[in-house]
A and B are shown apart, each in its own frame.
Chain A
């Protein structure tokens, strides 16, 4: 589904990703771990198409298409979803209106008619339950006045609404207490099917107790320096990132 080949990315002339390779298939859950500042969020942003990054080399093929040729909204419509580390507030735009616009844009892309108000509200209700998010929150403006945990839940709620094929969750666990973490993980697990894939970006192993990955990759200095099964996360937890630095060729 997703193939990243020898990806070099820089921002303002500073090289962040330095030859990253990654392959993700349908039905898989990948965890990307690594210390701060090694390019985890850059990877998430570059897949989603955030402006400001410069691709120096390499390619990303998604569902057989060159991802760099698609604007961000088209990537989203093709099923790429990014759960933001720091979801932005959009004052005055209600969650309901926002999601309805998003859903209808997705449907338009697929050649479907817009969803009726009734259907939409039904869908909202259903998905709200999945992530145990208060309907009160969805009546408010997008992320405005949400607590850290509410923002993260709201990201998963939107993921549930949009049913992506490739979900990238960027530090979704950061700032969550254990109850919220469970709810978020539970939501992600429920949304998992054999046809979609998830990339979980995290700093701590903690989240992986709840979302069990098929693969764990360790990102260091803009490259994946180690890949393995879920046990790799445990080793990392035990030995710390210093271990990777020692293991790393440079």
Chain B
């Protein structure tokens, strides 16, 4: 298995243009546009999936057919033609570039501002890499470490092949395929993603992000991630990348499921920086993501942290089902929208177990012509005695053409729980701006500083090295937002 994984990683690194770690064949290229049961059977067959997986996909597809695209979000989305999408093919091949000189200078500029190393810049922008061996050695050490602890960390496709029992047991257990339109679509056609299993009592010694940064640059349009933390285990997982990500696929519908068993803790951090479209709102990714964690066992904990700066449209509500008694769910979010971006994001905390606790901290920053909405659900069931929720959702407005909205849904059904929700909306304080300027800091930098300060509570939840990049990212995302 070790060798296979290594090969896989090697492939992914060297051929990051390909979505999958195996060779493209003619059939694949020929796969027609559109979606029907044959396409799904085809996908499943190509991936050599066991029957249960195919059945799962088909059930999801049939459910999807009966569903309607949600329109309740505060989003303005042009109609998507689901029959005009190729569901089984590698992402469109980027042209292999021979040097960084051929890369879009604007992109390079951002890389530099983020302080991304030259090697990584090449990888991210698709320049042929010659320094693979270095990376490989890093990766080998990494894999060895994981293996020592019995941690399974591989692509979803591999997991289906090598750990079908685990996949069968947990896939769809947190986000059922009928959960929503996009989850159903993903369940029918998901391409690949990651699978992670932390055995009993193991504390994963590394951030699963450190190496994954490059890997994720090539994840697909319909990504599927499943993380299972067995009793008493701990893992910190980082998805995404601060570097700008350009993808030709406009529609992204991912599903992430986390299962935390008794006393387990999972920390999931996301930096989302997909292409947001140009200044006039042309192009950009539609990002429809269903992320949910299940605190299945008592005293388990799931914590989501997200920094959302990219995509033309973001639709995601990472949440927790707090099933185990004394379990804890957390959600920390910074969402920045600029130009014509639209974000409708927030969290769902469903309290089912006794003494469960949840915290929601959301900081929205809107500028340009963008619209930024927080949408949250806190539900305390009858059984969830002595539960607590605290939500703080603040919005900051930069400019008078943008919008900031807050939609919290709160529902309680027992008398021993306490729910508190607070939110404020305001613009950046002129006094703060002037104070910075008086110390010689120009307006743009001052805004960067103030916004980062504003988002501090969330940023400090990120793993150290990412926090630094995320800070830079926030400032970059807001560039040009003030006149």
Contacts and interface: CB of A to CB of B under 8 A. Distances in A.
Q: Do chains A and B touch in the complex (CB under 8 A)?
A: yes
Interface of A: 48-52, 71-73, 76-77, 81-82, 84, 87-88, 90-93, 97-99, 101-102, 105-106, 109, 141-142, 158, 162
Interface string B425-466: 000011110111111111101000110111111000000000
Contacts of B437: 49, 71-73, 76
A105 B441 contact: yes
A72 B438 CA distance: 6
A48 B437 CA distance: 9
Contact of B441 (A51, A73, A141): A73
B445 A141 contact: no
B435 A87 contact: yes
Given A98-B439, A106-B440, A162-B440, A90 B453 contact: yes
Given A71-B442, A90-B435, A93-B450, 19 more contacts: A48-B438, A50-B434, A52-B430, A72-B438, A73-B441, A76-B438, A84-B435, A84-B438, A88-B435, A90-B436, A90-B453, A92-B452, A92-B456, A98-B436, A102-B436, A102-B439, A141-B456, A142-B453, A162-B439
Contact of A92 (B429, B435, B440, B454): B454
A73 B453 contact: no
Contacts of A87: 435
8 contacts: A51-B430, A51-B434, A72-B437, A73-B441, A82-B438, A90-B432, A102-B439, A141-B453
A92 B441 contact: no
A206 B29 CA distance: 85
Interface in B387-436: 429-432, 434-436
B392 to A, nearest CB: 13
B453 A93 contact: yes
Contacts of A49: 437-438
Given A91-B456, A92-B457, A73 B440 contact: yes
Contacts of B452: 92-93
Nearest to B363: A92
A105 B440 CA distance: 6
Contact of A73 (B429, B430, B432, B442): B442
A179 B435 CA distance: 26
A97 B439 CA distance: 13
A81 B435 CA distance: 11
Interface of B: 429-432, 434-443, 445, 449-450, 452-457
Shortest 5 CB-CB distances between A and B: which pairs? Answer: A92-B453, A92-B456, A93-B453, A76-B440, A72-B437
B63 to A, nearest CB: 44
A92 to B, nearest CB: 3
A81 B439 CA distance: 7
Contact of B449 (A50, A72, A97): A97
A77 B440 contact: yes
A97 B446 CA distance: 12
B37 to A, nearest CB: 52
Contacts of A72: 434, 437-438
Q: Which of A48, A51, A72 has the most CB of B within 10 A?
A: A72
Q: Which of A51, A102, A141, A158 has the most CB of B within 10 A?
A: A102
Nearest to B471: A97
Given A90-B449, A93-B449, A76 B439 contact: yes
Contact of A98 (B431, B442, B449): B449
A92 B432 CA distance: 12
Nearest to A81: B438
A235 B329 CA distance: 67
Nearest to B429: A88
Given A72-B434, A88-B431, A158 B439 contact: yes
Contacts of B454: 91-92
A177 B454 CA distance: 32
Nearest to A75: B438
Q: Which of B435, B442, B456 has the most CB of A within 10 A?
A: B435
Contacts of A97: 449
A48 B442 CA distance: 14
Contacts of B432: 88, 90
Nearest to B448: A101
A98 B452 CA distance: 11
Nearest to A71: B437
A167 to B, nearest CB: 12
A162 B441 CA distance: 12
Nearest to A161: B439
Nearest to B460: A92
Nearest to A94: B453
Contact of B445 (A52, A76, A105): A105
A109 B432 CA distance: 22
Contacts of B457: 92
Nearest to A159: B439
Contacts of A109: 440
A81 B442 CA distance: 15
A47 to B, nearest CB: 10
Contacts of B441: 73, 101-102, 105
B467 to A, nearest CB: 12
B200 to A, nearest CB: 39
A97 to B, nearest CB: 7
A162 B453 CA distance: 22
Contacts of A99: 439
Contacts of A92: 452-457
A71 to B, nearest CB: 7
Q: Which of A73, A81, A84, A102 has the most CB of B within 10 A?
A: A73
Nearest to A93: B453
Nearest to B455: A92
Given A50-B434, A72-B438, A106-B440, A90 B450 contact: yes
Contacts of B445: 101, 105
A105 B429 contact: no
B82 to A, nearest CB: 42
A97 B450 CA distance: 11
A108 B430 CA distance: 24
A93 B434 CA distance: 15
A144 B455 CA distance: 15
Nearest to B457: A92
